[in-house]
Structure 1
Amino acid sequence: MKTFLVVFTLLFTILLTVSCGTAKKVEAIKPAPSNDNPVVFKNKVSFISMPVEITLKELEQQLNKNVTGLIFNDSILNDDKTEMKIWKTAPIKLSEKNGNIISEIPLKIWAKFKYGTDFMGLNDTREINLNGIITLDSKTHLTNWKLTTTSKIEDFEWSESPTILVAGKNVPITYIINPTLTLFKSKISKKIDEAIDKTCDFKPHVLDALDKLSNPILTSEQYETWFKMVPLELYVTEAKLSKTKIMLNMGLKCNMQTMVGQKPKNGFDAAKIVLKPVEKIPDNTTVSVVAVSTFESASKIVTKNFQGQEFASGSRKITVQKVDLWQKDGKMIIALDVLGSINGTIYLSGIPNYNPITKEIYFDQMEYVLNTKSVLMKSANWLLHGTILKSIQENCRYSIKGNLEEGKQNMKPYLNNYSPMKGVFVNGTINDFEFEKVELTDKAIIAFITTSGKMDIKVDGLE
């Protein structure tokens, strides 16, 4: 009986020891994040074609709004023996000739003139009314956001030759009126140039369009993915006139961002936009986009990878219940909550990288952080074996292939005649995304992606 008790006690002690050994508590020190600042990340520059078009018909309409009624008034008779008032009698008509704007302006002219000599009062005055059409030839320029013109008189056609009745005869008086018309021609040219200058100020229209385009666009409601454009500079070529429209080819230098989470702010600052003249703007567009994965969302995906996975060495094994990710000193910290032969949290570090074949983010050069390594050497050195560490590393990855394709599909509606405001249309095509690099911030994993294609933001009209 005594022998039985001794054996029972010995077996109980062994079982207790084994039982305690299979559920050791790991208490490794948690590596603190570098800091808790908001997400800040770098952007690469993108260029987008931004043609601005104004039809001659629309310019014609705006000119007729700005040039109305009495357009010339000379009420002094004694300086040149002529008084004159001129009205626009019908709408101005615009056309194109040899790359210049041709303006036809129907006019009504009232004139009073003095003829004869002042000697002994041998003079008289006469009033006449006549109609004519003046034709202007205007060369276009682009100056400080404005379409300006330099106009000259191409022709002045009388509806009938101006005459007065003297002693029963029609006496031509063109020689009397024409000197005054010479002065009038320079003034009417200047007035039309001023009207075009006032009408064709592109700055408010372009800046308003850029402000609207800078509003973040929700591209995926499910993942709270936002696309945002940040304009930096505008490049512009000289204005060109075709048969029916005036064209300015602008190039927009901007940053493009893709963000995950709350709606970002519109940071557009019109005061910082500079218009720079250039000779040529390339047609092809290279778009640089950043895809932001918050540590929280990435942690959830990686946690799913470990479901149903066991990591074993002989009879010892663990399962991963939860994964948390954060950044410390430029490396990713991977915290694994484990159950099994040991219980607790172990910490590893790695450098995020990208596999272009599988389109996955993974963590390279993975190793246990120093304190965790020291703890495991004392309590569970079997986890330090390279095969187990490699198996853990294989699960610490997540694919962004679907995100890239979804991002491409989500962008398509905004590249097919998308209009954020009246008169502004966005069109374009994009090729497959190409991954460039991964960077860490204090809040997220930033994937830099580039794609080529063509994109234009058309500003159509002056309203």
Structure 2
Amino acid sequence: MKSYLTVFSVFFALFTLISCSSAKKIEALKPTPSDNSPMVYKTTTSFVAMPVEVPIKEVENQLNKVLTGLIYNDSIIADDNTEMKIWKQAPVKLSEKDGKIESVLPMKIWIRVKYGTEYLGLNDKKDITLNGTIKLLSDAKLSNWKLSTTSVIQDFEWSESPSIEVKGRHIPITYLVNPTLRIFKAKIAKKIDDAINKSTDFKPQVLGVLEKLSTPFITSEQYETWFKLIPTELYVTDAVLSKNKITMDMGLKCSMQTIVGQQPLNTFKKENIVLKPVSKMPNKVEATVAAVSTYESASRILTKNFQGQTFASGSRKITVQKVDLWHKDGKMIIALDMLGSVNGTIYLSGFPNYNAVTKEIYFDQMDYVLNTKGALTKTANWLLSGMILRKIQESCRYSIKGNLDEGKKNMEPYLNNYSPMKGVFVNGNLSDFVFDKVELTDKAIIAFIKTSGQMSVKIDGME
């Protein structure tokens, strides 16, 4: 989920003026920055809906990893005159049939039969080895990320008719073997069910993906900003089996943070994730993320952007040499270092706001900070005129349209077959980012933006 966040430069054009009259010195008291805001900025709760698809082929692959070698062993002959061992001889094949899972299990069967006068006038034991397949039909349910099945053996298919050799003659014993298998078919089916249940618990993989997504990653080395996703609740509907795939709806409730400075710790804990089964959920993404601009970077860009511009009133003119800005008591402070008719630094304050039509951030309720060391000279009084202030305020705006577009572009790689871990693939689309609000901290300007869209997850090829 690398950079929902875009570092955007901020706000305003100020004035450059060329002096035509004698300069006066203005000495204003500098408003000290606020230093009580936290370093972590938490957005509103986000909801990410991700329909999940698991092909039957993936269940088949996981089943074959668990179901190997000897899969059934009955070593007691006294109860029914037979011993039996069944080995898986080739990979199990799964398919979907009318909303159920059909399994075909190639197998090798070894049977030891005890027979006496009640069978062929003999009293002996005979070992029989058979090759064939068992067909099972299973009701499948995937709930809370775990697939469970209830299987019933439908048929036995032999590569050749079971027989034993007695005094040089091959005597068919299908009549003996099949009833014996039918007696134990419930036990054999349960063995298959146990193997499916063991091999298709997807919860560890899902939690592994969440842990991967929760690892903080850097979004801007230049501005030392990090993004951190904090999952809190995970929702999932019961699965539906159709068209050779299992589908369900997953929803993630989370918060998103941007952190300025050192890399934050990964605080993800699997045991703290609340797993909630639900009947249905909306198939959409509703996310609030953030864009961060430090005051240092904004000051540097603004100083460069507005070099050469002027403000004048009559014969009085000034140039702005440098722009600095910081936060104090919920307002933005703009410091203007000037030369010309007035020399020194003046301070403006205002509230950042947003124009949704032009996609521009601007200052509202802008005013001068008037705590000067001495009374302003008449020469400097023109700076306080409403007309000059309005001109300054008109220039104090900055379009973030390009930054919003860039934020969406930076998300695209994570919605185009993105694989946070082997065998898990994420796809989706997002609508345009929409501005939500601006917050000022002691370190940076944080602009929160919202987006919506759709995402999906496919599990195929896990280790």
Report the TM range for the smaller structure's normalisation. Answer: 0.7 to 0.9
Cα distance, 1:102 vs. partner? 0.9
Deviations 1:15-70 (A, max 9, x none): xxxx9x94333332222222165532231333334343333333323323322222
**Are residues 456 and 254 of structure 1, via their aligned partners in 2, closer, same or farther at CA, if it must alter by over 3 Å?**
farther
The TM-score, its normalising length taken from structure 2, stands at 0.82
Q: Distance in 2 between matches of 1:373 and 1:78?
A: 108
Distance 1:160 1:416 in 2: 51
- Please identify, of 344-353 and 45-54, the stretch whose mean Cα deviation from structure 2 is larger: 45-54
Structure 1 CA distance for aligned equivalents of residues 262 and 399 of structure 2: 23
Which residue pairs with 2:136 in the alignment?
136
1:272-305 alpha-carbon deviations (Å, 9 max, x no partner): 3333222233333233221112112222333345
1:417-443 deviations in Å (ceiling 9; x for gaps): 333443333332223222122111221
Please give the per-residue CA displacement for 1:139-194, whole angstroms capped at 9, x wherever unaligned. 22224432221222222344555555679987775665566434522222222112
Partner of 1:109: 109
- Which stretch shifts more, 126-135 or 209-218? 209-218
Deviations 1:286-329 (A, max 9, x none): 33221112112222333345423333333333332222221122
1:193-232 mapped onto 2 (5 Å cutoff) = 193-215=193-215, 229-232=229-232
SS of the aligned residue for 2:309 comes to coil
Bigger drift between 53-62 and 91-100 goes to 53-62
CA distance in 2, matches of 1:358, 1:67: 62
- Aligned residue in 2 for 1:289: 289
TM-score, structure 1 length as denominator? 0.82
Aligned equivalents of 2:195 and 2:306: distance in 1? 71
* Native 8 Å contact 1:214 1:229 kept in 2: yes
The reply to whether residue 382 of structure 1 matches residue 372 of structure 2 is: no
3-state SS in 2 of match to 1:35: coil
Q: Answer yes or no: is the 8 Å Cα contact 2:361–2:399 preserved in 1.
A: yes
Residue matched to 1:64: 64
> Does the CA-based 8 Å contact 2:52-2:459 persist in structure 1?
yes
Aligned AA for 1:324? Answer: D
Q: 1:301–1:398: 8 Å Cα contact kept in structure 2?
A: no
Whether the 8 Å CA contact 1:145–1:275 is kept in 2: the answer is: no
| Aligned-partner Cα distance in 1 for 2:91–2:442 | 64
State the 1:97 CA deviation.
Answer: 0.9
Counterpart residue number, 2:422:
422
Distance 1:105 1:334 in 2: 76
Conservation of the 8 A alpha-carbon contact between 2:40 and 2:257: no
RMSD of aligned C-alpha atoms? 3.5
Following superposition, the deviation at residue 230 of structure 1 comes to 4.0
- Residue aligning to 1:11: none
Cross-structure match for 1:444? 444
Q: 1:458 to 1:176 in 2, by over 3 A?
A: closer
C-alpha displacement at 1:101, in angstroms? 0.9
Distance apart, 1:395 and its partner CA: 2.6
What CA distance in whole angstroms lies between the structure 1 residues aligned with 2:298 and 2:260?
Answer: 11
2:410 equivalent in structure 1: 410
Distance 1:158 1:26 in 2: 103
**Segment of structure 1 superposing worse, 43-52 or 390-399:** 43-52
d(CA) in 2 for partners of 1:262, 1:356: 33
1:80 maps to which residue?
80
Larger deviation: 145-154 or 44-53?
Answer: 44-53
| Partner SS, residue 387 of structure 1 | helix
Residue 358 of structure 1: aligned partner: 358
What is the aligned residue count? 442
Q: Percent identity?
A: 69
Q: Higher relative contact order at CA 8 Å, sep ≥6: structure 1 or structure 2?
A: 2
Change (3 A) 1:39 1:431: same
**What is the CA deviation profile of residues 177-216 of structure 1, one whole-angstrom value per residue up to 9, with x for unaligned ones?**
5664345222222221121122112123223333333455
Q: Which residue of 1 aligns with 2:152?
A: 152
**In structure 1, the residue corresponding to 2:293 is in which secondary structure?**
strand
Structure 2: tracts of 5 or more residues without a match: 1-18
CA drift of 1:352 comes to 0.8
Q: How has the CA–CA distance of structure 1 residues 458 and 267 changed in structure 2, closer, same or farther, with 3 Å as cutoff?
A: farther
Deviates more, 1:290-299 or 1:30-39: 30-39
Q: In structure 2, how many angstroms separate the alpha carbons of the residues matched to 1:191 and 1:451?
A: 48
- Give the distance between the partners of 1:178 and 1:414, measured in 2 at CA: 55
- Once residues 373 and 385 of structure 1 are traced to their aligned partners in structure 2, the CA distance between those partners, rounded to angstroms, is 20
Change (3 A) 1:175 1:426: closer
**Greater shift in the superposed pair: 195-204 or 305-314:** 305-314
Instruction: Assess if the C-alpha contact under 8 Å between 1:95 and 1:243 holds in 2.
Output: no
**Higher mean Cα deviation, 254-263 or 291-300?**
254-263
Q: Which moved further from structure 2: 415-424 or 131-140?
A: 415-424
Partner of 2:254: 254
